[in-house]
């Protein structure tokens, strides 16, 4: 059994909860779920342009945990963009 998840600080509340390819009804698309922790990691790293150490401190996680969150987020976004799937943003 793994360790329980440590609380991850998230200072961002997105207004949109879905992103999808234009012109295709949502009911016809497969979805990829992107947790709010993954969205926060993307926001801190690529929008706020913080380095990994600063991002980890802001989220109150270790640097290696932040890296795992970021890699997972990038993989999910890349899959959605390259295969035409919808992205559903969920609250953790």
| 3-state class percentages of the chain: helix first, strand second, coil last, to nearest 5 | 50, 15, 40
pLDDT tens, 3-23? 776 677 787 788 889 999 999
Average pLDDT, the chain: 92
Give the per-residue pLDDT at 1. Answer: 67
Q: Which two tokens stand for residue 83?
A: 């295969």
pLDDT tens, 19-44? 999 999 999 999 999 999 999 999 99
Q: What are phi and psi of 15, to 5 degrees?
A: -85, -30
Q: What is the CA radius of gyration of the chain?
A: 14
Stated pTM of the model: 0.86
């Amino acid at each position: 059994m793994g360790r329980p998840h440590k609380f991850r600080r998230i200072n961002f509340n997105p207004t949109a909860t879905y992103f999808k390819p234009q012109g295709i009804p949502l009911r016809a698309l497969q979805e990829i779920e992107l947790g709010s922790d993954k969205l926060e990691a993307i926001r801190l790293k690529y929008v706020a342009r913080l380095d990994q150490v600063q991002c980890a401190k802001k989220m109150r996680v270790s640097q290696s945990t932040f890296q795992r969150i970021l890699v997972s987020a990038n993989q999910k976004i890349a899959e959605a963009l390259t295969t035409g799937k919808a992205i559903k943003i969920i609250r953790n």
